[in-house]
Each structure stands twice: as structure tokens, then as C-alpha cells.
Amino acid sequence: MLELHHGPVSTASERARLVLEEKGLTWTSHPVDLFNGGQHRPEYRALNRMGQVPTLVHDGFALRESSVIAEYLDEVFPESPLRPAAPRDRARARLWDKTIDEVHPFTGVLTYAIAFRPALLQKPKEELAALVAAIADPARRALRQSVLDHGVAAPEMKAAVGCYVRLLDEMEAQLAETPYLAGASFSTADTAVVPFLTRIDHLGMGPLIAARPRAKAWLEKIQARPAFKRAVTAFIPPAVVETFRVNGAAAWPALSALIA
Ligand SMILES: N[C@@H](CCC(=O)N[C@@H](CS)C(=O)NCC(=O)O)C(=O)O
């Protein structure tokens, strides 16, 4: 039995759900309420000591880290393989995994600064302080505190936007060579990256994507896949996308000034 503990609006969870759906696997959904500290409940921390989503549980075996989950699923369920067969393409897919692991904390910076901060600041001070204090990784904890304190004026915003500029430039260069990120075929590289471009698009940073025509066409192609609709679109409430877009449009002038 395959179970996924995941955040409906979490990019790392989308990465795992995409692999499950692309491979046509049947799985049981256990949503974790990140906004109210579900990731820090002791029973969840027993599955995932970092207090992060996603966690896959396969017949009692609990596994964290979306890239490791993707690799595991592809090994245990070899039908419809998602990892490239050719060594160079497979190496390229691994590099995209590493890149996305670097991009992920900056995605949190952007998402919390632009979209989640206003609602979080409505919480009682002690509750919010406890949510931040429970973040296991000290670097992540410091990032969260900074964006809660400063919003889009947080000093980390420049690095976050710069990180996406580099990601998009790397994608544009690769897509000039191959139709998919790891090579000629759709692979785990594409499932790893698409949640992150979708997120910055929702956050009003679409102009960065639009300026790179190959990345834009790739995004539309991947988002049109039926598995994307089941794994990503179906889980994100339209009201959340609307909040992202409204807050994103308000933040864009400050963000684009950071790029200039
Ligand atoms: N590298 C991890 C990152 C997991 C992660 O940080 N997930 C976020 C949601 S996208 C999370 O659980 N955040 C917990 C929190 O914000 O307290 C992976 O890819 O699985």
C-alpha cells in the first residue's frame, strides 16, 4: 500500500504526487495542515524527523525527500519508467534534482513573503512563534523568521529572485538542446522542476518566464499533461491561486526592482 503525507499546496509534495500520477500508481492521500503545524505533530515527526512534507509510506516503510521518493518509486515500480535510461540523461536528471533542492528554500522565501505572511500574521503571536521555533533546520528557521518580519523587503528576497533567474536561464539553455530537461523524453527532471515554475507563475513572477520562450513553452507542455492536472491543479484551491496572484501582482514592482 502506498500512502503519501503531503501538503496540498506544497511544491515538494507536488513533486512526489506528479511521480505517483505519471506512473499511474494508486495511493492514499494524507493531507498535512502546514498552516496549523500538522508537520510538527509527534506522530508525523516520527515519520519525518525534519517536520517536512512529503513523506511516502510504502507498506510501513517511511521515506522523506521528494527526489528520493521519486527514485524509489521508479525502482520499485519499473513500469512506465520516469528516470532516463542513458547515463548522460540520467546524470542530467540528477543535476536538476540537486538544483531544485537548492531552489526549494528560496521558493519558501518567496511564497511566505508574498502570499502566506498576511494570514500568518493574523495568528496569535505565541502560536506563530511556536510554529517557527518548531522548524528543525536552523537555516530554514532563520529564513522563515526574516520573511515574517520583513515581507518582500526581507534581505533574502534578492537571492531568491536571483536563484530563479539562474534556474530559468539554465532551463532556456538546456531546452535549446533537448525538448525535455534531461533529454529527448519526459523524465523525473521535468516532474522535479514544473512545480517551481508553476509556483512563481502563481506568485505574479510570470514575466520572468515569458522572457524565456523555451521555458514558457516547456511549462505549458508539461502543465497540459493529464497527470499534472491530477497531481497539482486538482489539489490547489482556486481561492489560494487567486490570493497568490493578487499578492504577487502587488509584490512584482519590488521584485522586478531587485532584478534590475
Ligand atoms: N527537500 C525536501 C523539502 C521538503 C520541504 O521543505 N517541504 C515544505 C513544503 S514545500 C515543508 O514541509 N515545509 C514545512 C514548514 O514550512 O514548516 C523535499 O524535497 O522533500
Read off the pLDDT of residues 190-247 as tens digits, 9 standing for 90 and up: 999 999 999 999 999 999 999 999 999 999 999 999 999 999 999 999 999 999 999 9
Last residue of a domain, one of 27, 53, 76: 76
Statement to judge: residues 110 and 41 lie in one domain: no
Give, using CA atoms, the residue closest to atom 9 of ligand 1: 10
Write the residue with the smallest CA distance to atom 18 of ligand 1: 65
Instruction: Compute the distance from residue 253 Cα to the ligand 1 centre, in Å.
Output: 28
Please say whether the beta carbons of 203 and 193 come within 8 A: no
pLDDT at 260: 76
Residue 82 lies in a domain: no
Closest Cα to atom 14 of ligand 1: 52
Which residue has the CA at smallest separation from atom 12 of ligand 1? 52
Question: What value does the mean pLDDT take over residues 144-163?
Answer: 97
Q: Are residues 55 and 143 in the same domain?
A: no
Q: Which of 33, 104, 236 to mutate to test the pocket of ligand 1 (most atoms within 8 A of CB)?
A: 104
Average pLDDT score, the chain: 97
Q: Given the CA of residue 53, which atom of ligand 1 is nearest to it?
A: 12
Closest ligand 1 atom to the C-alpha of 135? 17
Average pLDDT over residues 94-106: 97
- Nearest ligand 1 atom to the CA of 100 is 19
Which atom of ligand 1 lies closest to the CA of 101? 1
Answer yes or no: are the C-beta atoms of 97 and 84 closer than 8 Å. no
Average pLDDT over residues 129-147: 96
Closest C-alpha to ligand 1, atom 16: 34
Give the chain's domain count. Answer: 2
Dihedral sign, Cα of residue 247, residue 217, residue 215, residue 235:
positive
Give the residue ranges of DSSP H helices in 80-175: 87-111, 117-120, 125-133, 138-150, 157-175
Is there a single domain that holds both residue 245 and residue 167?
yes
Among the candidates 76, 102, 129, a domain finishes at 76
- Statement to judge: residues 153 and 238 lie in one domain: yes
- The answer to whether position 81 is within a domain reads no
* Residues 8-22: tens digit of each pLDDT: 999 999 999 999 999
> Ligand 1 pocket: which of 11, 53, 109 to mutate (most atoms <8 Å of CB)?
53
The alpha helices in the chain, defined as continuous H runs, are 11-22, 42-45, 66-76, 87-111, 117-120, 125-133, 138-150, 157-175, 188-200, 206-210, 213-223, 226-231, 238-259
Closest CA to ligand 1's atom 11? 52
Name every protein residue with a CB atom under 6 angstroms from any ligand 1 atom: 7, 10-12, 34, 39, 52-54, 65-66, 101, 104, 135
Q: Is residue 30 domain-shared with residue 127, that is, in the same domain?
A: no
pLDDT value at residue 57: 98
Domain span at residue 48 reads 2-76
Does 176 lie in the same domain as 48? no
Predicted local distance difference test score (pLDDT) of residue 44: 98
**Atom 17 of ligand 1, residue of closest alpha carbon:** 135
